[in-house]
Structures are given as structure tokens and as C-alpha cells.
């Protein structure tokens, strides 16, 4: 069964967003590992500085301000902890259940998903703020968005 335009559009958009998610994961994974290594290197350097300070009776700071803060905050443990918790790579995306709605028609194009919007952009209509005429006269307190939404869906 061929997919409707609506389904195809969903697939395209979701694929793109998933790719972005996977790319961010990949990058975060790589940089987190490297940063943990760099903090490790700073700790090694600090060990050497410490030994030198003792051997020669001098007092040179063992860390730089940045690496000292990273070391003291336990950043390495946090970084490696999450790396250990999660498995690498992209989650598998299954498209066997592509939603179908909107009569199979495309939703308006949206630059958020990297789509080129031609013509006048379609702005979604603001949810109607219907206030029952009777209650206006009785209560002066404004009807909250939530209850207004419930009332609208009940009427629709």
C-alpha cells in the first residue's frame, strides 16, 4: 500500500529529526570521552607537579584554574558515568507505523524541519477563546486557557 503524502511527509520530517538527534549523540559521545581523557591528562600533570613541588621544595600550582575546577567538580566521573550508562549509536527507527491523518494531505511546510516555505507562510489559527456569554455576566474572573480548551473540544 502506497503511503499518502501525509505519511511520506511525516517520514521525511522524522527521518531528518532523528538524524540530527543521532548526530548530536555521536558528537556528545566523542567529545565527552575526549574531555574525560583531557581531565585525566591534567590529573597526571598535577601528579608530576606535586612530585616536583615536594622534591624541590617549591610551590607551583598543580592545576590550571580550568582543569582544577573540572577535577574538583568530578566532571570526569559524570562524563564517564553517562557514557557507561548508555549504548552508543543511533536508535533504530521503525517506520512500520506511520500515522495517517489529515485525509492523507500534507501539513504546511515548516522551515524548522529544513523545508523551503514558498508563498505566504500559513500560520496556525490561534485557539478560539470562546467564553460562554452567560458566565461573562456572572463572574468577572477570566476563564483560564485550560478550561477554555476543554470547553472548545466539548463543543467541537
Partner 1 sequence: MALNGYQLQYKRRMKKALALRAKADRRARILVARLISALSQGETAANHIARINALYGTTMSLRTDLVDGYRLSGTAAALDQIATVSLGGAPEAVFVNLPANAGDAMLPPDADLD
Q: Which residues bind partner 1 (CB under 8 A)?
A: 10, 13-14, 16-18, 20-25, 27-29, 31-32, 34-35, 37-39, 41-42, 44-49, 51-52, 55-58, 60-70, 73, 75, 78-79, 81-83, 85-87, 91, 93, 99, 101, 107, 110, 112-113
**CA–CA gap between residue 96 and residue 3 (Å, rounded):** 11
CB of 6 to partner 1, least distance (A): 8
Pair 127, 146: CB distance under 8 Å: no
CB of 141 to partner 1, least distance (A): 30
Nearest residue (CB) to partner 1, 61 versus 139:
61
Pair 125, 30: CB distance under 8 Å: no
Nearest residue (CB) to partner 1, 21 versus 130:
21
Return the closest-CA partner of residue 148 out of 120, 122, 128, 133.
Answer: 128
CB of 150 to partner 1, least distance (A): 18
C-alpha cell at 128: 478560539
CB of 14 to partner 1, least distance (A): 6
Q: 146-155 contacts: CB < 8 A, separation 24 or more?
A: 152/127, 152/128, 155/130
Amino acid at each position: 500500500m502506497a503511503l499518502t503524502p501525509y505519511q511520506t511527509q511525516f517520514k521525511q520530517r522524522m527521518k531528518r529529526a532523528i538524524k540530527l538527534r543521532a548526530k548530536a549523540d555521536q558528537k556528545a559521545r566523542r567529545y565527552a570521552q575526549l574531555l574525560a581523557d583531557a581531565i585525566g591528562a591534567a590529573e597526571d600533570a598535577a601528579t608530576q607537579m606535586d612530585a616536583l613541588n615536594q622534591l624541590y621544595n617549591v610551590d607551583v600550582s598543580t592545576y590550571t584554574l580550568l582543569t582544577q575546577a573540572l577535577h574538583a567538580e568530578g566532571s570526569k566521573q559524570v562524563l564517564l558515568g553517562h557514557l557507561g550508562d548508555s549504548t552508543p549509536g543511533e536508535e533504530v527507527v521503525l517506520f512500520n507505523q506511520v500515522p495517517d491523518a489529515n485525509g492523507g494531505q500534507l501539513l504546511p511546510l515548516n522551515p524548522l524541519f529544513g523545508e523551503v516555505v514558498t508563498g505566504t507562510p500559513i500560520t496556525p489559527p490561534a485557539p478560539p477563546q470562546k467564553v460562554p456569554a452567560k458566565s461573562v455576566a456572572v463572574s468577572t474572573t477570566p476563564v483560564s486557557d485550560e478550561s477554555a480548551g476543554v470547553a472548545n473540544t466539548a463543543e467541537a
